[in-house]
Structure 1
């Protein structure tokens, strides 16, 4: 089973433009993310897919592999699909460029989903961790996910889901971590489909897979990721890196 990790890297992020080139304790955010994926040793290939000459140069000049997007893309999945369309691979792992704290154990769990799926019923696998802080739960930048009894995603939302109509019933709320793996065919299918209604409302690309009937297996993790969506997130990431060095 050939596995390729691809990091979609758009320079002009709407909430925090240029964030992937911001300094994260001596290296750019995108280079930190690339190195974290590479150092896991889990992949046959790791590459960055970008629309930015600056990001492309950053990766290549530091010994990495990058490909330039030739089309304008609205989602990371579209950018990845263009990058790997002509690559031979069974599983594509999408590592978000603003998630520099990817760890090996989580990626191994995603790969294991497909190794155990002998009937090839699962199209995607992704990660989630429980949110405990009310501010984090209500933050629309944190995408939440609910699952069925077998851990398959039912829906993703920027709202807090599920809504606690009966507060005596304690139900955990999970954040979707933007690292996921998919069979190559599911990715190509996504690439050839138009955005779907709920995807457009929520601005969450994973919903398109659900609206087309794809099965997404969610894996719980206790690894607290820091996605860099705002300048304050970058400060949190810098603090975490400094603590790791000490």
Structure 2
């Protein structure tokens, strides 16, 4: 039987926003929002937070979550997820970002489904259609293009595809389809272990996008289209945007 686990990598240190996983959102730390949303998944057999910080470890324990301490010298969240495979057996691994409190269990399940449906992919991830022209030109918004089978061709901080015939910015949305990448990744066990064993690639270094290492090394990345967007937390201002969103949706304490 296929075993699917979800891992939420969470570190305390952050250049732009130290202590980000523990920031309060309507009475709960952000890591708890992420964990509880993921717990509603119908396809995850097990969920765990992987951290290198005792403060995060203790908070997760306090709300009843599964958590593991990982070495502090692990460089990336993906490496931290792969480390968990030393302790837990799994065929499929979901890397659930700890700074995505609006990521839903439905999004997670839809990203897992290509593996359970027998599709020949190494990694799957999420994207949502862009309807705001400003996002196309925002380098902090990663764009993705894919083929007819929704296998990723490229990810970029630049506008892709480039709309040569556009006379102004508004024309871009009229003439082309653009998709924002959402940072949720699901891997086969073999693909994850192979990925973290590879050296960083040239495109990855230029764009500062880890997924380009996978593309440069021939991984097939399935792009699952989401009907709704998320708000990732990189700055304190993002937290305020999330609080406003949740209040407008009248979402408070889930449990």
TM-score w.r.t. the length of structure 2 is 0.90
Q: 3-state SS of the aligned residue for 2:243? A: helix
Kindly provide the CA deviation profile for residues 54-88 of structure 1, in whole angstroms up to 9, marking residues without a partner as x. Answer: 11111112111111121523322111001223421
Task: Give the match for residue 85 of structure 1.
Answer: 86
Q: 3-state SS of the aligned residue for 2:205? A: helix
Task: Give the match for residue 150 of structure 1.
Answer: 149
For structure 1, list consecutive stretches of 5 or more residues without a partner in the other structure.
none
Asked if the contact 2:41–2:109 (Cα under 8 Å) also holds between the matched residues in 1, the reply is no
Give the counterpart of 2:186 among 181, 187, 191: 181
1:4 Cα deviation after fit? 0.3
Distance 1:45 1:216 in 2: 23
Q: 3-state SS of the aligned residue for 1:214? A: coil
Task: Give the match for residue 21 of structure 1.
Answer: 22
Task: Give the match for residue 7 of structure 1.
Answer: 8
1:41 Cα deviation after fit? 3.8
Kindly provide the CA deviation profile for residues 155-175 of structure 1, in whole angstroms up to 9, marking residues without a partner as x. Answer: 111122111112277211111
| Number of residue-to-residue matches in the alignment | 244
Distance 2:158 2:235 in 1: 19
Question: Is 2:213 the partner of 1:212?
Answer: no
Kindly provide the CA deviation profile for residues 70-126 of structure 1, in whole angstroms up to 9, marking residues without a partner as x. Answer: 1523322111001223421111011110111122322222222012226xx200111
Stretches (4+) displaced over 3 A: none
Kindly provide the CA deviation profile for residues 152-200 of structure 1, in whole angstroms up to 9, marking residues without a partner as x. Answer: 0111111221111122772111111011211011111112111111111
For structure 2, list consecutive stretches of 5 or more residues without a partner in the other structure.
none
Question: Is 2:134 the partner of 1:135?
Answer: yes
Change beyond 3 A, Cα 1:21–1:136:
same
Q: 3-state SS of the aligned residue for 2:175? A: coil
Asked if the contact 1:141–1:229 (Cα under 8 Å) also holds between the matched residues in 2, the reply is no
Kindly provide the CA deviation profile for residues 24-69 of structure 1, in whole angstroms up to 9, marking residues without a partner as x. Answer: 1101111110111012243111011112211111111211111112
Distance 1:142 1:74 in 2: 23
Q: 3-state SS of the aligned residue for 1:220? A: strand
Task: Give the match for residue 40 of structure 2.
Answer: 39
Matches within 5 A, 1:111-130: 111-117=112-118, 121-130=120-129
Q: 3-state SS of the aligned residue for 1:245? A: coil
